[in-house]
Structure 1
Amino acid sequence: TQKNSAAAYQYYSKAANLGNSAAMANLGLLYESGEGSHKNLGKAYHYYTEASKADNSLAHNNLGKLYYFGHGVTRNLDLAFKHFSIAANLENHVAQNNLALMYEKGEGIGKSLDKAKEHFTKAARHGYQVAHLNYK
Protein backbone atom coordinates (compact mmCIF):
# COMPACT_ATOMS: atom_id res chain seq x y z
CA THR A 1 0.00 0.00 0.00
CA GLN A 2 1.02 3.62 -0.44
CA LYS A 3 1.14 4.18 3.33
CA ASN A 4 3.56 1.28 3.85
CA SER A 5 5.65 2.39 0.87
CA ALA A 6 5.90 5.89 2.33
CA ALA A 7 7.06 4.46 5.66
CA ALA A 8 9.54 2.19 3.89
CA TYR A 9 10.84 5.20 1.99
CA GLN A 10 11.47 7.04 5.27
CA TYR A 11 13.27 4.10 6.88
CA TYR A 12 15.33 3.30 3.78
CA SER A 13 16.31 6.96 3.44
CA LYS A 14 17.59 7.08 7.02
CA ALA A 15 19.52 3.83 6.66
CA ALA A 16 20.90 4.84 3.24
CA ASN A 17 22.18 8.08 4.73
CA LEU A 18 24.05 5.94 7.25
CA GLY A 19 25.69 4.00 4.40
CA ASN A 20 23.57 0.84 4.42
CA SER A 21 23.88 -0.65 0.92
CA ALA A 22 20.73 -2.80 1.21
CA ALA A 23 18.73 0.32 2.11
CA MET A 24 20.29 2.16 -0.84
CA ALA A 25 19.28 -0.64 -3.22
CA ASN A 26 15.75 -0.73 -1.82
CA LEU A 27 15.49 3.05 -2.01
CA GLY A 28 16.50 2.73 -5.65
CA LEU A 29 13.62 0.29 -6.14
CA LEU A 30 11.16 2.75 -4.63
CA TYR A 31 12.41 5.54 -6.89
CA GLU A 32 12.30 3.24 -9.92
CA SER A 33 8.71 2.20 -9.23
CA GLY A 34 7.43 5.46 -7.79
CA GLU A 35 6.23 3.74 -4.62
CA GLY A 36 6.58 5.86 -1.50
CA SER A 37 7.89 8.79 -3.54
CA HIS A 38 7.69 10.23 -7.03
CA LYS A 39 9.16 8.05 -9.75
CA ASN A 40 12.68 9.29 -10.45
CA LEU A 41 14.95 7.08 -12.55
CA GLY A 42 17.89 9.42 -11.99
CA LYS A 43 17.66 8.90 -8.24
CA ALA A 44 17.11 5.17 -8.73
CA TYR A 45 20.31 5.06 -10.79
CA HIS A 46 22.15 7.07 -8.12
CA TYR A 47 21.15 4.77 -5.26
CA TYR A 48 21.80 1.60 -7.26
CA THR A 49 25.24 2.92 -8.18
CA GLU A 50 26.08 3.76 -4.57
CA ALA A 51 24.87 0.35 -3.35
CA SER A 52 26.79 -1.42 -6.13
CA LYS A 53 30.02 0.03 -4.74
CA ALA A 54 29.46 -2.27 -1.75
CA ASP A 55 28.85 -5.25 -4.08
CA ASN A 56 25.12 -5.29 -3.42
CA SER A 57 23.77 -7.89 -5.85
CA LEU A 58 20.28 -6.36 -6.06
CA ALA A 59 21.81 -3.02 -7.04
CA HIS A 60 24.02 -4.60 -9.70
CA ASN A 61 21.08 -6.53 -11.15
CA ASN A 62 18.89 -3.44 -11.23
CA LEU A 63 21.63 -1.34 -12.83
CA GLY A 64 21.82 -4.09 -15.42
CA LYS A 65 18.08 -3.75 -16.05
CA LEU A 66 18.30 0.03 -16.40
CA TYR A 67 21.09 -0.33 -18.95
CA TYR A 68 19.41 -3.23 -20.74
CA PHE A 69 16.14 -1.39 -21.27
CA GLY A 70 17.56 2.13 -21.42
CA HIS A 71 15.43 3.33 -18.51
CA GLY A 72 16.84 6.61 -17.23
CA VAL A 73 20.16 5.93 -18.98
CA THR A 74 21.34 5.39 -22.52
CA ARG A 75 20.78 1.76 -23.47
CA ASN A 76 24.11 -0.05 -23.16
CA LEU A 77 24.18 -3.84 -23.47
CA ASP A 78 27.86 -4.01 -22.48
CA LEU A 79 27.12 -2.33 -19.15
CA ALA A 80 23.97 -4.41 -18.70
CA PHE A 81 26.05 -7.56 -19.20
CA LYS A 82 28.73 -6.28 -16.80
CA HIS A 83 26.25 -5.60 -13.99
CA PHE A 84 24.28 -8.82 -14.53
CA SER A 85 27.58 -10.73 -14.44
CA ILE A 86 28.67 -9.16 -11.17
CA ALA A 87 25.27 -9.82 -9.57
CA ALA A 88 25.22 -13.39 -10.91
CA ASN A 89 28.66 -14.01 -9.40
CA LEU A 90 27.22 -12.76 -6.11
CA GLU A 91 24.60 -15.56 -6.40
CA ASN A 92 21.69 -13.31 -7.40
CA HIS A 93 19.28 -15.74 -9.09
CA VAL A 94 17.40 -13.03 -11.00
CA ALA A 95 20.69 -11.78 -12.44
CA GLN A 96 21.68 -15.35 -13.33
CA ASN A 97 18.47 -15.62 -15.32
CA ASN A 98 19.00 -12.21 -16.95
CA LEU A 99 22.57 -13.15 -17.87
CA ALA A 100 21.33 -16.43 -19.34
CA LEU A 101 18.86 -14.53 -21.52
CA MET A 102 21.66 -12.30 -22.82
CA TYR A 103 23.77 -15.35 -23.68
CA GLU A 104 20.78 -17.04 -25.30
CA LYS A 105 20.08 -14.03 -27.50
CA GLY A 106 23.72 -13.01 -28.03
CA GLU A 107 23.04 -9.55 -26.64
CA GLY A 108 26.06 -7.69 -25.27
CA ILE A 109 28.11 -10.89 -25.59
CA GLY A 110 28.60 -13.61 -28.16
CA LYS A 111 25.69 -16.05 -28.31
CA SER A 112 26.35 -19.16 -26.21
CA LEU A 113 23.59 -21.66 -25.53
CA ASP A 114 25.94 -23.57 -23.21
CA LYS A 115 26.49 -20.47 -21.05
CA ALA A 116 22.76 -19.73 -21.18
CA LYS A 117 22.01 -23.25 -19.94
CA GLU A 118 24.62 -22.90 -17.19
CA HIS A 119 23.09 -19.69 -15.85
CA PHE A 120 19.46 -20.83 -16.24
CA THR A 121 20.42 -23.93 -14.24
CA LYS A 122 22.06 -21.87 -11.47
CA ALA A 123 19.01 -19.63 -11.22
CA ALA A 124 16.65 -22.62 -11.18
CA ARG A 125 18.70 -24.29 -8.43
CA HIS A 126 18.11 -21.18 -6.33
CA GLY A 127 14.38 -21.77 -6.79
CA TYR A 128 13.80 -19.05 -9.38
CA GLN A 129 10.78 -20.45 -11.26
CA VAL A 130 11.13 -18.03 -14.18
CA ALA A 131 14.45 -19.70 -15.04
CA HIS A 132 12.64 -23.05 -15.35
CA LEU A 133 10.26 -21.44 -17.84
CA ASN A 134 13.03 -19.70 -19.79
CA TYR A 135 15.21 -22.79 -20.00
CA LYS A 136 14.15 -24.72 -23.05
Structure 2
Amino acid sequence: METRVRRKTPPVRSLADVAMGRAWTIEETQPDDRKALFEAYLAAARLGKMEAMTNVGLHFLYGDGVRRDPKRSRMWTEKAAALGDDVAAFNLGLAYYFGRGVRKNKGLAEAWYRLAAARGFAVAEGNLVDILFASPEAHQLKEAVRIYRKYARQGDPVATYNLGLAYEQGKGVRKSLKRANAYYETSAKGGYADAQLALGYNYSNGVGLPTDAMRAFGWFRLAAKQGSAKASFNLGLMFANGEGVPVSKARAMRHFREAANLGHVRAARWLRKLEKA
Protein backbone atom coordinates (compact mmCIF):
# COMPACT_ATOMS: atom_id res chain seq x y z
CA MET A 1 0.00 0.00 0.00
CA GLU A 2 1.35 3.40 -0.95
CA THR A 3 2.43 5.49 2.00
CA ARG A 4 0.65 8.74 2.57
CA VAL A 5 1.81 12.25 1.88
CA ARG A 6 4.43 13.50 4.30
CA ARG A 7 4.14 17.16 3.47
CA LYS A 8 4.69 19.18 6.60
CA THR A 9 2.96 22.33 5.49
CA PRO A 10 1.00 23.58 2.55
CA PRO A 11 3.16 24.78 -0.33
CA VAL A 12 4.80 28.13 0.22
CA ARG A 13 2.59 30.74 -1.38
CA SER A 14 4.21 32.49 -4.31
CA LEU A 15 4.96 36.16 -4.56
CA ALA A 16 2.38 36.35 -7.31
CA ASP A 17 -0.30 35.11 -4.91
CA VAL A 18 0.69 37.35 -2.03
CA ALA A 19 2.80 40.42 -2.55
CA MET A 20 1.99 41.01 -6.19
CA GLY A 21 -1.68 40.62 -5.44
CA ARG A 22 -1.59 43.45 -2.95
CA ALA A 23 0.43 45.80 -5.08
CA TRP A 24 -0.23 44.96 -8.69
CA THR A 25 -3.99 44.73 -8.69
CA ILE A 26 -4.37 48.35 -7.69
CA GLU A 27 -4.92 49.02 -11.38
CA GLU A 28 -5.39 46.71 -14.33
CA THR A 29 -2.50 47.17 -16.69
CA GLN A 30 -2.06 45.64 -20.12
CA PRO A 31 1.21 43.82 -20.85
CA ASP A 32 2.29 46.57 -23.25
CA ASP A 33 2.07 49.09 -20.43
CA ARG A 34 4.21 47.20 -17.90
CA LYS A 35 7.27 49.30 -18.64
CA ALA A 36 5.33 52.48 -17.99
CA LEU A 37 3.98 51.01 -14.76
CA PHE A 38 7.47 50.06 -13.62
CA GLU A 39 8.74 53.56 -14.33
CA ALA A 40 5.85 55.04 -12.36
CA TYR A 41 6.64 52.80 -9.39
CA LEU A 42 10.33 53.62 -9.66
CA ALA A 43 9.62 57.35 -9.60
CA ALA A 44 7.45 56.92 -6.51
CA ALA A 45 10.07 54.71 -4.87
CA ARG A 46 12.75 57.34 -5.40
CA LEU A 47 10.48 59.80 -3.61
CA GLY A 48 10.37 57.47 -0.61
CA LYS A 49 7.06 55.65 -1.20
CA MET A 50 7.43 52.41 0.74
CA GLU A 51 4.92 50.26 -1.17
CA ALA A 52 6.38 51.45 -4.47
CA MET A 53 9.80 50.22 -3.35
CA THR A 54 8.34 46.77 -2.78
CA ASN A 55 6.75 46.86 -6.21
CA VAL A 56 9.99 47.93 -7.87
CA GLY A 57 11.70 45.01 -6.17
CA LEU A 58 9.14 42.66 -7.66
CA HIS A 59 9.51 44.15 -11.15
CA PHE A 60 13.28 43.65 -11.00
CA LEU A 61 12.84 40.13 -9.64
CA TYR A 62 10.54 39.01 -12.44
CA GLY A 63 11.89 41.19 -15.24
CA ASP A 64 8.46 42.75 -15.68
CA GLY A 65 8.77 45.98 -17.65
CA VAL A 66 12.51 46.07 -16.99
CA ARG A 67 15.53 43.80 -17.37
CA ARG A 68 15.58 41.18 -14.63
CA ASP A 69 18.04 42.14 -11.89
CA PRO A 70 17.87 40.13 -8.62
CA LYS A 71 20.45 42.34 -6.90
CA ARG A 72 18.47 45.51 -7.53
CA SER A 73 15.37 43.63 -6.50
CA ARG A 74 16.92 42.85 -3.14
CA MET A 75 18.17 46.43 -2.72
CA TRP A 76 14.72 47.96 -3.19
CA THR A 77 13.05 45.27 -1.13
CA GLU A 78 15.48 45.86 1.74
CA LYS A 79 14.76 49.59 1.57
CA ALA A 80 11.03 48.92 1.88
CA ALA A 81 11.55 46.43 4.71
CA ALA A 82 13.69 48.95 6.58
CA LEU A 83 10.79 51.41 6.39
CA GLY A 84 8.46 48.84 7.94
CA ASP A 85 6.77 47.13 5.00
CA ASP A 86 5.51 43.70 6.03
CA VAL A 87 5.29 42.36 2.46
CA ALA A 88 8.88 43.40 1.76
CA ALA A 89 10.04 41.52 4.85
CA PHE A 90 8.11 38.48 3.65
CA ASN A 91 9.64 38.76 0.18
CA LEU A 92 13.12 38.79 1.70
CA GLY A 93 12.22 35.66 3.62
CA LEU A 94 11.27 34.01 0.34
CA ALA A 95 14.46 35.26 -1.31
CA TYR A 96 16.68 33.69 1.34
CA TYR A 97 14.59 30.52 1.55
CA PHE A 98 14.73 29.85 -2.20
CA GLY A 99 18.01 31.61 -3.01
CA ARG A 100 16.53 34.28 -5.28
CA GLY A 101 19.26 36.82 -5.87
CA VAL A 102 21.00 35.72 -2.66
CA ARG A 103 22.54 32.57 -1.28
CA LYS A 104 20.06 30.27 0.41
CA ASN A 105 20.07 30.91 4.13
CA LYS A 106 17.36 29.30 6.27
CA GLY A 107 18.42 31.33 9.29
CA LEU A 108 17.90 34.66 7.51
CA ALA A 109 14.70 33.38 5.92
CA GLU A 110 13.40 32.54 9.39
CA ALA A 111 14.35 35.98 10.70
CA TRP A 112 12.57 37.82 7.88
CA TYR A 113 9.49 35.61 8.16
CA ARG A 114 9.36 36.36 11.88
CA LEU A 115 9.59 40.07 11.23
CA ALA A 116 6.87 39.95 8.58
CA ALA A 117 4.61 37.95 10.91
CA ALA A 118 5.26 40.38 13.76
CA ARG A 119 4.19 43.19 11.45
CA GLY A 120 0.89 41.44 10.84
CA PHE A 121 1.52 39.54 7.61
CA ALA A 122 -0.16 36.25 8.56
CA VAL A 123 1.07 34.28 5.54
CA ALA A 124 4.63 34.65 6.81
CA GLU A 125 3.81 32.58 9.88
CA GLY A 126 2.79 29.71 7.64
CA ASN A 127 6.17 29.83 5.92
CA LEU A 128 7.97 30.19 9.22
CA VAL A 129 6.43 27.01 10.57
CA ASP A 130 7.76 25.10 7.56
CA ILE A 131 11.28 25.92 8.71
CA LEU A 132 10.54 25.22 12.37
CA PHE A 133 8.97 21.81 11.81
CA ALA A 134 11.94 20.69 9.72
CA SER A 135 14.37 21.65 12.48
CA PRO A 136 16.09 19.07 14.70
CA GLU A 137 15.91 21.51 17.62
CA ALA A 138 13.32 20.64 20.26
CA HIS A 139 12.42 24.27 21.02
CA GLN A 140 11.71 24.98 17.37
CA LEU A 141 9.58 21.87 17.02
CA LYS A 142 7.55 22.93 20.05
CA GLU A 143 7.08 26.38 18.56
CA ALA A 144 5.89 24.80 15.32
CA VAL A 145 3.32 22.77 17.24
CA ARG A 146 2.10 25.90 19.02
CA ILE A 147 1.55 27.58 15.67
CA TYR A 148 -0.24 24.54 14.25
CA ARG A 149 -2.42 24.34 17.33
CA LYS A 150 -3.35 28.02 17.11
CA TYR A 151 -4.61 27.69 13.55
CA ALA A 152 -6.17 24.27 14.17
CA ARG A 153 -8.32 25.86 16.87
CA GLN A 154 -9.48 28.34 14.25
CA GLY A 155 -10.64 25.45 12.09
CA ASP A 156 -7.79 25.41 9.57
CA PRO A 157 -7.76 21.87 8.10
CA VAL A 158 -4.14 22.09 6.93
CA ALA A 159 -2.87 23.11 10.36
CA THR A 160 -5.03 20.40 11.91
CA TYR A 161 -3.46 17.81 9.61
CA ASN A 162 0.02 19.05 10.46
CA LEU A 163 -0.78 18.81 14.16
CA GLY A 164 -1.78 15.20 13.57
CA LEU A 165 1.49 14.63 11.77
CA ALA A 166 3.38 16.06 14.75
CA TYR A 167 1.64 13.63 17.10
CA GLU A 168 2.20 10.67 14.79
CA GLN A 169 5.91 11.43 14.48
CA GLY A 170 6.39 12.63 18.04
CA LYS A 171 7.84 15.95 16.87
CA GLY A 172 7.42 18.70 19.44
CA VAL A 173 4.93 16.58 21.39
CA ARG A 174 4.76 13.13 22.94
CA LYS A 175 3.91 10.60 20.25
CA SER A 176 0.25 9.59 20.23
CA LEU A 177 -1.34 7.73 17.35
CA LYS A 178 -4.75 8.19 18.95
CA ARG A 179 -4.44 11.97 18.89
CA ALA A 180 -2.84 11.89 15.46
CA ASN A 181 -5.77 10.04 13.96
CA ALA A 182 -8.26 12.28 15.75
CA TYR A 183 -6.67 15.34 14.16
CA TYR A 184 -6.49 13.61 10.79
CA GLU A 185 -10.20 12.84 10.98
CA THR A 186 -11.08 16.43 11.86
CA SER A 187 -8.97 17.68 8.97
CA ALA A 188 -10.33 15.03 6.60
CA LYS A 189 -13.91 15.98 7.43
CA GLY A 190 -12.88 19.54 6.64
CA GLY A 191 -12.07 18.36 3.13
CA TYR A 192 -8.26 18.21 3.27
CA ALA A 193 -7.10 15.51 0.85
CA ASP A 194 -3.80 14.72 2.59
CA ALA A 195 -5.67 13.98 5.82
CA GLN A 196 -8.12 11.77 3.94
CA LEU A 197 -5.17 9.92 2.44
CA ALA A 198 -3.56 9.55 5.88
CA LEU A 199 -6.72 8.07 7.36
CA GLY A 200 -7.06 5.71 4.41
CA TYR A 201 -3.52 4.52 4.95
CA ASN A 202 -3.92 4.13 8.71
CA TYR A 203 -7.18 2.18 8.39
CA SER A 204 -5.64 0.01 5.69
CA ASN A 205 -2.54 -0.76 7.74
CA GLY A 206 -3.91 -0.62 11.28
CA VAL A 207 -1.79 2.34 12.33
CA GLY A 208 -3.38 3.40 15.61
CA LEU A 209 -6.75 2.25 14.27
CA PRO A 210 -8.43 -1.12 13.77
CA THR A 211 -7.76 -2.44 10.29
CA ASP A 212 -10.82 -1.61 8.20
CA ALA A 213 -10.52 -1.96 4.44
CA MET A 214 -13.92 -0.43 3.72
CA ARG A 215 -13.18 2.72 5.71
CA ALA A 216 -9.78 2.90 4.04
CA PHE A 217 -11.51 2.65 0.67
CA GLY A 218 -13.91 5.44 1.56
CA TRP A 219 -11.17 7.86 2.59
CA PHE A 220 -9.00 6.99 -0.40
CA ARG A 221 -11.95 7.63 -2.69
CA LEU A 222 -12.56 11.08 -1.21
CA ALA A 223 -8.89 12.00 -1.58
CA ALA A 224 -8.79 10.65 -5.14
CA LYS A 225 -11.74 12.84 -6.09
CA GLN A 226 -9.58 15.81 -5.13
CA GLY A 227 -6.77 14.72 -7.41
CA SER A 228 -4.56 12.74 -5.04
CA ALA A 229 -2.40 10.46 -7.17
CA LYS A 230 -1.46 8.30 -4.19
CA ALA A 231 -5.10 7.82 -3.27
CA SER A 232 -5.96 6.77 -6.83
CA PHE A 233 -3.02 4.37 -6.80
CA ASN A 234 -4.18 2.83 -3.52
CA LEU A 235 -7.68 2.38 -4.93
CA GLY A 236 -6.12 0.63 -7.89
CA LEU A 237 -4.26 -1.72 -5.56
CA MET A 238 -7.43 -2.50 -3.64
CA PHE A 239 -9.30 -3.46 -6.80
CA ALA A 240 -6.32 -5.37 -8.20
CA ASN A 241 -5.84 -7.39 -5.01
CA GLY A 242 -9.42 -7.58 -3.77
CA GLU A 243 -8.71 -5.74 -0.53
CA GLY A 244 -12.12 -4.93 0.94
CA VAL A 245 -13.67 -4.84 -2.54
CA PRO A 246 -14.26 -7.46 -5.24
CA VAL A 247 -11.36 -7.93 -7.64
CA SER A 248 -11.94 -5.80 -10.73
CA LYS A 249 -9.30 -5.46 -13.40
CA ALA A 250 -11.28 -2.73 -15.16
CA ARG A 251 -11.64 -0.60 -12.04
CA ALA A 252 -8.05 -1.21 -11.03
CA MET A 253 -6.88 -0.03 -14.44
CA ARG A 254 -9.10 3.03 -14.26
CA HIS A 255 -7.63 4.13 -10.95
CA PHE A 256 -4.08 3.29 -11.99
CA ARG A 257 -4.62 5.34 -15.14
CA GLU A 258 -5.87 8.29 -13.07
CA ALA A 259 -2.78 8.10 -10.88
CA ALA A 260 -0.43 7.62 -13.84
CA ASN A 261 -1.89 10.68 -15.55
CA LEU A 262 -0.95 12.62 -12.41
CA GLY A 263 2.64 11.43 -12.68
CA HIS A 264 2.56 8.41 -10.37
CA VAL A 265 5.33 6.10 -11.61
CA ARG A 266 4.27 2.91 -9.83
CA ALA A 267 0.72 3.34 -11.08
CA ALA A 268 2.02 3.52 -14.65
CA ARG A 269 3.90 0.25 -14.11
CA TRP A 270 0.83 -1.46 -12.72
CA LEU A 271 -1.22 -0.18 -15.63
CA ARG A 272 1.21 -1.63 -18.17
CA LYS A 273 1.26 -4.91 -16.25
CA LEU A 274 -2.54 -5.21 -16.29
CA GLU A 275 -2.76 -4.21 -19.95
CA LYS A 276 -0.50 -7.15 -20.83
CA ALA A 277 -2.37 -9.61 -18.60
Q: TM-score normalized by structure 2?
A: 0.42
SS of 1:111's equivalent in the other structure is helix
Residue type of the alignment partner of 1:77: K
Give the structure 2 partner of residue 105 of structure 1.
Answer: 134
Residue type of the alignment partner of 1:115: R
Which aligned pairs between 1:23-38 and structure 2 lie closer than 5 A? 23-38=52-67
Assess, with a 3 A threshold, how the Cα gap between structure 1 residues 110 and 39 changes in structure 2: closer, same or farther.
Answer: same
C-alpha RMSD of the superposition: 2.4
Equivalent pairs: percent with the same residue?
Answer: 26
Q: Counterparts of 1:86 and 1:54 in 2: how far apart (Å)?
A: 12
| Cα offset, 1:4, TM superposition | 3.5
The count of corresponding residues between Structure 1 and Structure 2 is: 127
Which aligned pairs between 1:1-136 and structure 2 lie closer than 5 A? 1-106=30-135, 110-112=140-142, 113-117=144-148, 121=151, 132=156, 134-135=158-159, 136=161
| Cα offset, 1:117, TM superposition | 0.9
Cα deviation 1:94-132 (Å, max 9, x = unaligned): 21221122222228983233234157x29xx7xxxxxx5
Listed as ranges, the gaps of 5+ residues in structure 1 are 126-131
| Cα offset, 1:72, TM superposition | 1.1
Residue type of the alignment partner of 1:111: L
More displaced stretch, 15-24 vs 87-96? 87-96
Assess, with a 3 A threshold, how the Cα gap between structure 1 residues 93 and 51 changes in structure 2: closer, same or farther.
Answer: same
SS of 1:71's equivalent in the other structure is coil
Indicate conservation of the 8 Å contact 1:77/1:107, yes or no.
Answer: no
Q: Counterparts of 2:111 and 2:103 in 1: how far apart (Å)?
A: 15
**Larger radius of gyration, structure 1 or 2?**
2
Residue type of the alignment partner of 1:114: V
SS of 2:65's equivalent in the other structure is coil
Indicate conservation of the 8 Å contact 1:103/1:115, yes or no.
Answer: no
Q: Counterparts of 2:157 and 2:99 in 1: how far apart (Å)?
A: 25
Residue type of the alignment partner of 1:88: A
Instruction: With a CA cutoff of 8 Å and minimum separation of 6, indicate the structure with the bigger relative contact order.
Output: 1
Assess, with a 3 A threshold, how the Cα gap between structure 1 residues 88 and 82 changes in structure 2: closer, same or farther.
Answer: same
Listed as ranges, the gaps of 5+ residues in structure 2 are 1-29, 162-277
| Cα offset, 1:38, TM superposition | 1.4
